[in-house]
Structure 1
Amino acid sequence: MSNMNTNSEQVVDNNSCIDERYRVYASISFAILLIGIGVPLWWQTTAVPRVPLPYTGISALSNLNTSIRSRILIASSSHARGELLTAYIKNALQNSTLYKLDISYTAIPENRVNSAFSTHEHEKIASTTFNLRAGDLLLLEAPNLYTIVIGSNRTIFFPVKTNGAKLVQILSQVILREKSLVLTRDALTEPTKYSLDEENRRRFPASSTFDILLTLVNPHPEQLKVKWNLAALTKDYLEPFLNQLSLMANFSVKSQWLYLMPLDITPKQIPDSSPSGKHYALLEDILPQLITPLEKKLASQVSLYPCINLVMYIVPCDGSPLHIYTRTGHRSKPLNNYVEAFLSPRWGGVVISNPPPEACKEASRLTNGTVDVIPNHVTMMGVFLAQLKLLLGIPQPDELSGVIISPLDELNLRAWELDALLRIRAIEQLTSAKLTLQSLAQLLEKISNIVITDTVGNRINYALELVQRAANKLHDGELEEGFVLSKEAFLTAEAAFTDPSLLALLYFPDDQKYAVYIPLFLPVMIPVLLSLKNIKRYFF
């Protein structure tokens, strides 16, 4: 009987051991599944996707040397005079911080330059004798000229007795404009330390596309009927001019008419000696007040791109003639007896067109009907084009004594003006791209829960490459190629910075993630963690 009890106890002990072993193995399997597989899988699936970025390369952009190489060729029939001018200009411009100037001298046959008397003939000699690329400049001695002439095709013609100081002044203030370029770069890099000059405040920021809105405002169409074909004027004047700037940006030209829109301010009446005995004055200080009511009606914000407004305001007869007065109380220099104009920085330009007195007299005799008014389209469009040049960043040449700037042929831009525009836009775009990449890298490195997708990562890497390539092209003197690369770098960096995916998890930080998942995992984890104690006791 005792043997039977002993066997029964052994069987029970064996069964208990087997059950305990199964429970331990089950606990081990649960722990492995939950801790070894479940937790890493949860961590991986809830981790913020972040593509590796070239932080070191972006940080090195602060030391990137941005310089523009330019070739200046001095041509003279006298070897001694040419060498003297070359040495003087080299010495005067050797401390340039932005430019890398290659200044050299070449001889030109005396009989060749002696046969030219007009600027056009000198331009022909320069174009057929020398091969000038974008950014290059030719200083050609012209014995038959009595004053210095800045040509239209990267050329400066100077008389025999011209000294080197005058040529250096022209190069510094008209052609190279290094101070403005350096200020543009420094003001973008350290805006709190440097303040922009008038040229930089007036110019529109860099963009891939600009909208140009041409608007004609006629407050009293029942009195004066303006005979203008805006579509034809746009095609004849604006389009040929903008086609020359196609490398810089794309342009979309629109036009509109606004009626029954008087001024919100009352001009001051001033007596004079004219037949009417009076005229009306707009003080320079209140000109911005004209922009506010216009802005409400112009519909200039229908596009995502910057809009350049060109407005022509037809003055009604009861307020004509209307003239602009400066802050000192003097009448501003008019374009002619009927046209006044002013510019609003980074907004556009306004042209005030006074109707002819005979048209107002005829309108006063008519009880019903309108009088046709035909503004001088050559003058008006000439003003608009001049305003466009300033707003887009084409520098306005400084007036220098003893220097004449060759007049433009039709609507063509001067080649050296276009080169100056490419330089300043290349510096602006390259600096902006560098700052955008550095700001974005700093933001992404500091905030760890921002998503960095493959698209954003590729854009950042490509923009970094473009910045370096653009700087190399400018340093090698390839102005157009460097500008194109700087433009692409600017657009790519902006696209990366404004990518919507960067905001995907910005408002879902890690503490909220743990607050959501811990209540789900904790009830499951407690039994598993407690079972680890039994597993340890079973084996040890």
Structure 2
Amino acid sequence: MAITLYNDKVARRRVPILLSVCCVFLIGLPLWWKATEVYRADLPADAIRAWAASKAVLRYPVDVYIEFPPSAGQSLEDNGQVVTALNEALAHARSNVEPAESSDAVGASLPVRFDVHARLLNPEAKPPAGAPVVRIRYDPDLIDRPWVHIRADQRLDLVVARPPAAATPSVIGPLTEVITRLYRAQERFANDRTSNGERPHPAARRAVRHTRDYQLTFSLFYEEASAAARTPDWDIEAALATHVRPFLRHVAPLFNFTLDSQVQAFSSLPIQPARDPRGTDSDTSARHTLRAGDLPHFINAQDWNLESTETTRPLLNFILYVPAPSRTPLEIVTADGHPLPSNAFLLPRWGGVCIWNRPPTGPPTISDTATITTASALDVAALHQPFVTFVTQLRNLLGVPDWSREVIQPLGQVFEVAVESRLAGSSLTTWEFQLLVAKRSTENVAEAATTLQSLLNLVDSIPNMVVLDRIESKVTRALDHLRRFEEELDGRRYVTAYAHAAEALSQAESAFFDPTMLALLYFPDNHKFGVYMPLFVPAFLPVLMAILKEVKRRRNLRAAAKTKAE
């Protein structure tokens, strides 16, 4: 009897205890949930998706100014009618070659389309700075196809036969053809595709990743100390001022550069150049050669001082290498054994190398076809050819289009083309700069949109990721810069538009790589179970066992009462 009374007493106490524990959990669970809740600012998801969805193709408006000769006998009204008809012809030509549009174009790349509009240039006015100009010239003796003259003042001359009447639109066909071909070629380059669209443009594989700041290091390396003693110094400041800085001034709206230089002796090669078979062991003047397969192994990264302490700026190296007298001349040769005129090569996304040979007697030479003046030091005249080569290599590394090769050559299929030398000291034409701005702006816009979309997907995939107000602010600023990019682009203010595109990318990347965003990337859900199970399982098991016992006891009581009633 005593045992039965004790069991009944324990059973009666079990129910209040279980109810108390359940109340604690019911009250504590919401408090715990609220206490562990992370703050998530509202990102403008709809604006991000709407902007990405609206950008299947980036339309880049371009105004091309048409200049007619004042002595052609045509009035300003006649010329205006020609320009109006030209715009209609350009619109018809564009409609026949629409680029492929897809809803997911913003992702890997953003296709570019140049919307070209012709404008009449008043003879008494000047075109806006940097605007492309096509000047019409009439030649009454021209009986063959029209020809195009690329002038040193960065204008394009289109020479056609003189029309028999002032209002005759015989110039419209050649004008439409030259402008259409020019900008189709530029679109192919801007979209990093070859003419058949099957593989990336070679320039895209050579260029470094776009950023605002770069460090340029110019190095003079001697293989032996004796060579350094014969030419102890180089006039690097004068060479930079003559060849490099004019180019840097042209691209200053897009890039910032830090320049430094160094001279180093005992810079041995990690490879053994081949001795020319035409030489003999006793012939010290026999040339030594490097072939294409040797060039990737030319740099002695272990012994040459080519590292930079600057971690935020990509480093581009330009090396002027002086071989030992026993290896002079050292030449880079083609597959058929002919020396390269520049005796230089480019290392994609790293820098460039130029080999300078100084024979025991006579003037030093870059190669058999390029002679450098004799000097006790490498003065600016001696450094002319190497630094012309370095500027060409820098253009390739920055992704600057060679407008003469990439764009003018397609004109040769229809026109006779003549290219005049560039202005002295100029390393970038207006057409090249415009195309570079368009290409870099497009890359920045595409990467900014992709980064914002990736950020949105990341936040949606990790519900407990902290999203602070500063993240929302950065995303909002990135979208605002994208909007202002479009406004400036519509206003033909290309450099300002580029600045907004670059800032949009900077804000988007700053938001995506914020330390508070990255913290949970390496804390998956299974880690949560590993943390909480040791805390909650020991507490839940006794409560669960007590609930099961109480349920079993009540079933037994009901069964006993039913048996007694029967």
- TM-score normalised by L of structure 2: 0.72
- Counterpart code for 2:35: T
Which of 46, 60, 72 is equivalent to 2:64? 72
- Corresponding residue of 1:137: 132
Among 47, 53, 56, the alignment partner of 1:57 is 47
**Contact 2:114-2:183 at 8 Å conserved across structures:** no
Q: Name which of 240, 244, 249 aligns with 1:238.
A: 244
Deviates more, 1:342-351 or 1:506-515: 506-515
| 1:310 maps onto 2:306 in alignment | no
Query: How far off its partner does 1:87 sit?
Result: 5.4
Identity %: 26
SS for the counterpart of 1:504 is: helix
CA contact (8 A) 2:285 2:329 kept: no
Q: One-letter code of the match for 1:52?
A: D
* Counterpart residue number, 2:148: 148
Say if 1:252 and 1:184 are closer, same or farther in 2 by CA, change over 3 A. farther
Q: 1-side partners of 2:184 and 2:213: how far apart?
A: 26
The answer as to whether partners of 1:238 and 1:385 remain within 8 angstroms in 2 is yes
- Counterpart residue number, 2:278: 271
* CA drift at 1:412: 5.4
Give the equivalent residue in structure 2 for 1:407.
422
Contact 1:138 1:156 in 2 (8 A): yes
Q: What's the offset of the Cα at 1:421?
A: 0.9
Question: Match of 1:227?
Answer: 233
Q: Give me the TM-score of the superposition, normalised by structure 1.
A: 0.75
Q: How does 1:11-90 map to 2 (within 5 A)?
A: 35-36=26-27, 38-60=28-50, 61-64=52-55, 65-77=57-69, 78=74, 79=78, 82-83=82-83, 88-90=89-91
- CA separation of 1:62/1:217 partners in 2, compared to 1, >3 Å: closer, same or farther? farther
Tell me the SS of whatever aligns to 1:346.
coil
Whether the 8 Å contact between 1:66 and 1:471 is mirrored in structure 2 is no
Indicate the structure with greater helix content: 1
| Mapping for residues 254-269 of structure 1, pairs under 5 Å | 254-263=260-269, 264-269=271-276
Is 1:341 the counterpart of 2:336? The answer is: no
Equivalent of 1:212, from 216, 234, 238?
216
Alignment of structure 1 residues 316-327 onto 2, 5 Å: 316-327=324-335
Task: Supply the distance in 1 between the matched residues of 2:119 and 2:456 (Cα, whole angstroms).
Answer: 47
Contact kept? 1:473, 1:481, Cα under 8 Å? yes
Report matched runs for 1:87-486 at 5 Å. Answer: 88-94=89-95, 95=97, 97=99, 98-104=112-118, 106=120, 129-134=125-130, 136-143=131-138, 148-151=148-151, 155-161=155-161, 164-165=173-174, 168-169=177-178, 172-173=181-182, 177-183=186-192, 195-223=199-227, 224-263=230-269, 264-271=271-278, 278-291=286-299, 293=301, 297-300=305-308, 302-332=310-340, 334-335=341-342, 340-358=343-361, 372-374=376-378, 376-396=382-402, 397-398=404-405, 399=409, 400=412, 401-411=416-426, 413-486=428-501
Deviation per CA, 1:199-219: give whole Å up to 9, x if none: 111111111211111111111
Cα 1:229/1:104, change in 2 over 3 Å: closer
Aligned to 1:129, the other structure's residue is in SS state: coil
Opposite residue 141 of structure 1, the aligned amino acid is I
How far apart are residue 392 of structure 1 and its match?
0.9
Letter paired with 1:291? I
**Preserved CA contact (<8 Å) 2:121 2:127:** no
Moved more, 68-77 or 517-526: 517-526
- CA deviation profile, 1:181-230 (whole Å, cap 9, x unmatched): 23379xxxxxxx96311111111111121111111111112233242033
Pick which of 94-103 and 484-493 moved more: 94-103
Work out the CA distance in 2 between the residues paired with 1:159 and 1:505. 65
Q: Kindly tell me: are residues 105 and 502 of structure 1, through their superposed partners in 2, closer, same or farther at Cα, counting changes over 3 Å?
A: closer
Unaligned segments of structure 1, at least 5 residues: 1-19, 110-127, 186-192, 362-370
SS, match of residue 71 in structure 1: strand
Looking at structure 2, the residues matched to 196 and 100 of structure 1 have their Cα atoms a distance apart, in angstroms, of 20
| Partner secondary structure for residue 345 of structure 2 | strand
Shift of 1:511: 4.4
> Hey, what's the Cα distance between the residues in 2 that align with 1:478 and 1:257?
43
Does structure 2 conserve the Cα–Cα contact (< 8 Å) formed by 1:317 and 1:360?
no
Distance in structure 2 (CA, Å) of the matches to 1:476 and 1:29: 72
> How many residues are paired up?
473
Report the alpha carbon displacement of residue 474 of structure 1 after superposing the two structures with TM: 2.7
Per the TM alignment, residue 27 of structure 1 is displaced from its structure 2 partner at its CA by 9.2
CA apart distance, 1:179: 0.8
Distance change in 2, residues 1:152/1:446 (3 Å):
farther
